[in-house]
Amino acid sequence: MSEQSPNPAVGSGQLAGRVAIVTGAAGGVGSGAARRYADEGASVVLTDISGPAVEAVAAEIRERGGEAFAIACDIADPEQIAAVVAATVQRYGTVDILANIAQGGLDQHKLLEEATAEQALYAYRTGPLQSMLFMQHCLPIMKEKGYGRVINTASGAAVHPTPGFSTYSMAKGAVMSLTRVASQEWGRYGIVTNTFLPVAKTPGFDLTEQGRAAAKQLVTMVPVGRFGTPYEDVSPLLVFLASEGAGYINGQAIAADGGLSLFT
């Protein structure tokens, strides 16, 4: 199936009038989310460390009639995170949806015995810490309007760790805890926060030997019998969690993975 909507008008407009920030929007899951959010009527701010690549996705969305704006941002740098939120407010006046999808260090997978403190800190800085900073910068805006949808991206590796993904699994576990904390502290402001766990074929798997091996194995393990795609299989859950109808779903970890991981 195609990565792109066969018909930009296919969306039902359930995010019409909403403003969304999508991080990692040049990547597999992030670009699928950004395209789908735009197809559902949101104005989308796309960020990624790769400026030209994220601008290309935004340009494609605009060509399809969507509203999109790209900003290069290294999520390891707190000042760049602040700048993304400020630019979003300057351009669109608000933020309703924050989809924290990027994760750094996807090219540094290691066994625990080989992992360095530097790698662990980088996975943490470009995972739960940057997600927390994006959330904190969006908080005053969402709190004032009494509305917010925050989605953080974890991984089945946080709950069922696969050997070779040590610091990544640790960081993703912290992402899930971050979501739970926010759900308890921010729910009263009309802001709901959920963790999303995808499985889809993306360029991220091709960055390391461990990633390539995991991709081969996953194809054989997904109960629905195929490797999902970011746009068709994964982004519908991201749309739902970003929608008005998700206002009573808070602090949950929900997978779009064909049934690979069962969370109780």
Ligand X SMILES: NC(=O)c1ccc[n+]([C@@H]2O[C@H](COP(=O)([O-])OP(=O)(O)OC[C@H]3O[C@@H](n4cnc5c(N)ncnc54)[C@H](O)[C@@H]3O)[C@@H](O)[C@H]2O)c1
- Please give the residue whose beta carbon sits closest to ligand X in the complex: 27
- Nearer CB in complex with ligand X: 147/150: 150
Contact between 214 and 227 under an 8 Å Cβ cutoff? The reply is no
CB of 134 to ligand X, least distance (A): 11
Is 168 labeled as catalytic in the residue annotation?
yes
In 154-201, DSSP assigns E strands to 191-198
Kindly list the distances between the CA atom of residue 64 and the CA atoms of 36, 39, 57, 233, 259, in Å, as whole numbers in the listed order: 11, 9, 11, 20, 32
- Nearer CB in complex with ligand X: 107/144: 107
Gap between the Cα atoms of 70 and 48, Å rounded: 8
CB of 44 to ligand X, least distance (A): 15
- Nearer CB in complex with ligand X: 203/245: 203
Kindly list the distances between the CA atom of residue 114 and the CA atoms of 109, 164, 237, in Å, as whole numbers in the listed order: 10, 9, 36
Q: Using CB under 6 A as the criterion, which residues of the chain lie in contact with ligand X when the complex forms?
A: 24, 26-30, 48-50, 73-76, 101-104, 106, 126, 153, 155, 198-200, 202-204
CB of 156 to ligand X, least distance (A): 6
Gap between the Cα atoms of 180 and 10, Å rounded: 33
Set 147, 168, 189, 231: catalytic member: 168
CB of 185 to ligand X, least distance (A): 23
Give the residue numbers marked as catalytic: 168
